[in-house]
Structure 1
Amino acid sequence: MPSGTRAPVARSAPRPRADALRNRERIVAAAREMFVEQGPEVPLDEIARRAVVGNATLYRHFPDRADLIHEVVLSVLSRTAERAEAAVLDIAEERGDPFGALRRFVHDAADERIGALCPMLSEGFDQNHADLLAGRERLEAAVEDLMGRARKAGRLRADVAVGDLMVALSQLTRPLPGSGGCVNFDQFVHRHLQLFLDGLEAPARSELPGAAATLDDLRRPR
């Protein structure tokens, strides 16, 4: 380089504006709610209306439906994993009993709209994307740890596994197909989750048919 010539300055990519970040967050939050309520095929313009943004804004952030589904699933995985890790930390710091921590996590996971993870099980969805695999492994490890601590303390029945918990969370936090006429489905979610949790607590009051569902069972092709 000739003497006196300045080296080119590397320029970082411009950071998104604060309003653009807020719009993106609103879109993801609205999609998370509507995927639970109506499934991943809900019209994108309805998601834009729920998020109070224009269609052009939605498509600027998410050019197609697959991009939006990916972002929603990643968001739910991350937020729910944080809840599970916080519950494990409570046990480790002796701020609560293990089953109580598991109970709180289940209700927290419902509030995080864990039912929005169902698109991960649909055909055509890229379940093996690196960031989704990392998010799923983080969530699974935290829930396994949480259930293991409750089981070791003698508070969780021995014949259930993390797959049983995740299936129940998915089924109990979404409206039934064709139940669009039901008013305020959310009012029943925590009530029914509490009934389910009572069935998980040891000592068991019955013998469950079949075997405990593992996460590998859920991923096995049907």
Structure 2
Amino acid sequence: MQTATATPVQRRASRPRADALRNRERIVTAAREMFVEFGPDVPFDEIARRAGVGNATVYRNFPDRDALAREVVCSVLDRTSEVAERALAERADAFDALERFAHAAADERLSALCPMLSSAFDENHPDLEAALERIERLVEGIMERAKAAGQLRPDVGVGDLTFAVAQLSRPPAGTECLSADRFMHRHIQLFLDGLRAPARSELPGTAVTMEDLRQP
């Protein structure tokens, strides 16, 4: 019996349309921004408005909050993993690759999304587990290379780096979430310089006061 094959028209119909993919990306981007600013309980209506799509488009792509939250976290982890991959491939200096990853991870605001790993959806979902495993493997590779080059102290691990970046990219209590961003890379660099000696970089900006942190 001859097996039927899909026609070109059928194959095109089975693939997501370009505009549908763009809408999905816009929804995920808008959701990430709003989760960072307001937390994981932001209304879908507000996410749809920021994404520039209708509510039905949001629900067509993500039937519930768990699905959207998981997609946001996985997309952030995937982008950060891609930075780690490029850093491993492009940077001859091992510690430079480590710095590049740490600053990129801070920019993704992983600290604001971390609570969603344990509260917003199934943390054992295979997509999430795969994304976490990938990033852990890549960061461990960067750190091992820096240790082998004698640039990174031997008594630190992936958890030390991940925890520090998450804490340093989280604004102090009583300050505006996004207003603290201008200090984030300064403090990330302070931490990174503390991982090796002597220090090899100049800190961005000037000395920060508590009054600076309180300003919007």
Same fold per superposition (TM over 0.5):
yes
Cα 1:89–1:184, aligned 2, differ >3 Å: closer, same or farther? same
Is 1:194 aligned to residue 179 of structure 2? no
Query: One-letter code of the match for 1:195?
Result: L
Secondary structure of the residue that 1:122 maps to in structure 2?
A: helix
Given that residues 36 and 174 in structure 1 are in contact (C-alpha distance below 8 angstroms), is that contact kept between their aligned partners in structure 2?
no
Report deviation, 1:30.
1.4
- The answer to whether structure 1 residue 57 and structure 2 residue 57 are counterparts is yes
* Native 8 Å contact 2:80 2:105 kept in 1: yes
Q: CA deviation at 1:62?
A: 1.0
Q: Which amino acid in 1 is paired with 2:139?
A: V
Which residue of structure 1 aligns with residue 47 of structure 2? 47
Alignment partner of 1:171 is 2:167: yes
Q: Distance in 1 between matches of 2:180 and 2:169?
A: 9
124, 140, 145: which one aligns with 2:136? 140
Identity %: 65
What is the alpha-carbon distance in structure 2 between the residues aligned to residue 202 and residue 179 of structure 1? 32
Where does the alignment leave 5 or more consecutive residues of structure 1 unmatched?
Answer: 205-222
- Contact 1:98–1:149 (8 Å) recurs in 2: yes
Q: Report deviation, 1:82.
A: 1.0
Deviation at 1:129, TM superposition (A): 1.5
Q: Please state how far the C-alpha of 1:150 moved relative to its aligned partner.
A: 1.0
Aligned: 1:98 with 2:108 = no
Identify the structure with the greater helix proportion: 2
Checking the alignment, whether the CA contact within 8 Å between 2:69 and 2:120 is kept in structure 1 is: no
In the TM superposition, residue 127 of structure 1 has moved relative to its aligned partner by: 1.7
Q: Secondary structure at 1:197's aligned position in 2?
A: helix
Distance 1:7 1:98 in 2: 53
Give the RMSD, CA atoms, in angstroms.
Answer: 2.4
Secondary structure of 1:96's partner?
coil
CA contact (8 A) 1:27 1:48 kept: yes
TM-aligned CA distance change 1:118 to 1:156, over 3 Å: same
- In the alignment, which residue of structure 2 is the partner of 1:87? 87
| 3-state SS in 2 of match to 1:126 | coil
CA distance in 2, matches of 1:163, 1:7: 52
Per-residue deviation at 1:176?
Answer: 4.0
Q: Is the contact between residue 157 and residue 203 of structure 1 (CA under 8 Å) also seen in structure 2? A: no
CA shift in 2, pair 1:183/1:127, >3 Å: closer
Equivalent pair of 1:32/1:113 in contact (CA under 8 Å): no
Give the match for residue 130 of structure 1. 126
SS state at 1:200 partner: coil
Q: What is the letter of the counterpart of residue 43 of structure 1?
A: P
Q: Which amino acid aligns with 1:50?
A: R
> SS in structure 1 opposite 2:194?
helix
Q: TM-score, normalised by structure 2?
A: 0.79
In the alignment, what sits opposite 1:16?
16
Distance between the aligned counterparts of 1:7 and 1:100, measured in 2? 55
4+ long deviations beyond 6 Å: none
Relative to structure 1, is the Cα distance of residues 125 and 189 closer, same or farther in structure 2, using a 3 angstrom cutoff? same
Taking a change above 3 Å as real, the CA distance of residues 176 and 24 of structure 1, as seen in their structure-2 partners, is farther
Q: Which amino acid aligns with 2:171?
A: P
Deviation at 1:21, TM superposition (A): 0.9
The Cα shift of 1:115 comes to 3.0
